Amino acid sequence: MIPIKLKSLILKSIVTLLFTGIVSCNIKEKKKETAHTYPDIYVVGAMKDAMFKGELYSKIDLDTISDKNGLYGLGPQTQLTGELLIIDGKCYVSKVVSDSTMTVQETYKTGAPFFVFGNVKEWKSVKIPETITDMKALETFVDEQSKEMKRPFAFKVSGRVSDATIHIQNLPPGSKVSSPQEAHVGQADYTLQDEAVDIVGFFSTEHQTVFTHHDTFMHLHLITQDRSKMGHLDHAIFENITLYLPMK
């Protein structure tokens, strides 16, 4: 005959073992799920440090990013002398030639005072409703479509713009910067009309003034599909575009 107290201890031990086993399985399952999600986004430097502290020097050399398979990234060039975009592992640098012309060069031999990047090797496409025609509506749509996603994340948009404005930073050599106004001295704006484009964006509700401006949750760079024009996207009227989000 087993004493009542001993029975109670045995039952408690069995319950504890069962509970521990269930929790352990849940933790392992969660780790498994996390391991299969898309990689983290990496942020180097901060927009606010360039704009307000004048930290325009290179905080990352892009040719030091080792994994270029499915690599995406964006930011300004060191000393704010151009714009940078990495799309599908290829890096482009745009520079001002005149108010109406620019150069776009494919090279990793460049750097940035702040930069955001990550690897995405699989995408899921989301057809964007025809009612989504401008950047503010796009931001709301991306936010709604990504509520369950790990943030920040990279995304792509492909299609046509009937009208768009992009800019390229073109700060004169030797300039000192302590405000956004000073940082944008020499900036050139370019108008695009009826162009087939690819847009790379990074979305976050936690990185305003780090890699997005203070009034938005996304940072976008546009490149035409013939790769002849590229810059920071300020304004767009979209036509027949598709959104691509990272797939787990």
Residues 122 and 165 in one domain: yes
Residues 13 and 56 in one domain: no
Residues 32 and 112 in one domain: no
Number of domains in the chain: 2
Residues 98 and 29 in one domain: no
Residues 51 and 157 in one domain: yes
Question: Residues near 65 by Cβ (< 8 Å), separated by ≥ 6?
Answer: 71, 73, 108, 117
d(CA 231, CA 137): 20
Residue with tokens 């929790």: 23
With a cut of 50, say whether residue 159 has pLDDT above it: yes
User: What's 184's DSSP letter?
Assistant: T
User: What's 6's DSSP letter?
Assistant: H
Is residue 177 within 8 Å of 51, Cβ to Cβ? yes
The mean pLDDT of the chain is 87
Residues 28 and 76 in one domain: no
Q: Using pLDDT thresholds of 50, 70 and 90, give the confidence band for residue 35.
A: very low
Residues 56 and 27 in one domain: no
Q: Which domain holds residue 7?
A: 1-36
With a cut of 70, say whether residue 24 has pLDDT above it: no
CATH number assigned to the domain comprising residue 176: 3.30.1330.80
With a cut of 60, say whether residue 88 has pLDDT above it: yes
Among 172, 168, 190, smallest CA distance to 182 is for 172
d(CA 212, CA 222): 15
Residues 224 and 174 in one domain: yes
Residues 21 and 139 in one domain: no
**Would you state the structure tokens that stand for residue 176, as one six-digit string?**
């000192």
Residues 106 and 130 in one domain: yes
Q: Using pLDDT thresholds of 50, 70 and 90, give the confidence band for residue 241.
A: very high
pLDDT at 226: 98
